[in-house]
Amino acid sequence: MGETTFRFILFGWILIALVIFIILLFIAAPYGRHFKKNFGPSVNAKLGWILMESPAPLIFAIFFFSSIHSYTIIPVLFLIMWQIHYLDRAFIYPLTLRLSSKPLPIAVLVAGIIFNTLNAYLNSYYIANNISKYSVSWLFDIRFLFGIGLFIFGFIINRQSDYILYRIRLHTGQEYGIPENGLYRWISCPNYLGEIFIWLGWTVATWSPVAAAFSLWSIANLVPRARSHHRWYKETFQDYPVERRILLPWLW
């Protein structure tokens, strides 16, 4: 891919994220608690999440191994970070979903597959084509160290928060409850805040415009969704804590 084509694709990719952000401010993505039958046919959520997320680890690995021929520590660390997140998201996380979970509309599934395929390709492409930037000295670069730290911090928050939600159903048998522990004490969607930190950390560690576009996509998806979840909690539970914010403790 030439430099001009790459810039053109990246620009389009960022533009689509902005359009999606605006749409999602008005229409909550119709899966999970916001599922609606009128969004067409759907599949079982477990199967849907596996199909939707598995292109991310597969495409990244295929492109990585087919285009990088001498392996140095930094690109391998990026590969490990990506795979730890996505193998878990694609193959472990769906196991925590109940068979009776709300189905995933095929429209959302297809959009997710297209997004994950292109996003994994672009992230892997950038690393493979900027291999000289990621020499051993990058290991001691403040951007790499801070980025890795933020990635790990976000990962812990995201997984801990998803686990708290998982335990609500496991222990109470209720479909939905008010989450009480961890960062839920302050905000309605700490799993989304953790996810945003993961990709901001990835962006800083790789110092890549493609990763920055991915962070933008995550914000475009998750900020409006956190807003919809927060509204839903307040409408559904009379005793929902009034001091709890949406995504940023004490602020919003």
Ligand X SMILES: NC(=O)c1ccc[n+]([C@@H]2O[C@H](COP(=O)([O-])OP(=O)(O)OC[C@H]3O[C@@H](n4cnc5c(N)ncnc54)[C@H](OP(=O)(O)O)[C@@H]3O)[C@@H](O)[C@H]2O)c1
Give whichever of 73 and 248 is closer to ligand X, judged by the CB atom: 248
Residues 51, 63: Cα–Cα separation, whole Å: 19
CB 248 within 8 A of CB 187: yes
Taking the CA atoms of 189, 193, 194 and 196 in sequence, report the sign of the dihedral they define: positive
Minimum Å gap between C-beta 145 and ligand X is: 23
By beta-carbon proximity to ligand X, the closer residue of 74 and 222 is 222
CA dihedral 179→183→189→192, nearest 10 degrees, is -130
State which residue, 81 or 195, has the beta carbon closest to ligand X.
Answer: 195
Residues 6+ apart with CB under 8 A from 67: 124, 125, 128, 129
Cβ proximity of 212 and 234 under 8 Å: no
Instruction: Output 187 or 222, the one with its CB closest to ligand X.
Output: 222
Query: Of 141 and 177, which has the nearer Cβ to ligand X?
Result: 177
The CA-to-CA distance between both ends of the chain, in Å, stands at: 41
Smallest separation (angstroms) from ligand X to the CB of 80: 19
**Shortest spacing between CB 86 and ligand X, in angstroms:** 10
Residue nearest to ligand X (CB): 32
In the complex, which residues of this chain contact ligand X (CB under 6 A)? 32-33, 97, 101-102, 158, 162, 165, 168-169, 176-177, 179, 191-192, 195, 217-218, 221-222
CB of 218 to ligand X, least distance (A): 4
Whether the CA torsion 32, 33, 34, 38 is positive or negative: it is: positive
Total residues found in the chain within this entry: 252
Cα(83)–Cα(109) distance, integer angstroms: 21
Q: How far is the CB of 146 from ligand X (least distance, A)?
A: 20
Residue closer to ligand X by CB (options 134, 218) is 218
Query: Minimum distance from CB of 211 to ligand X (Å)?
Result: 12
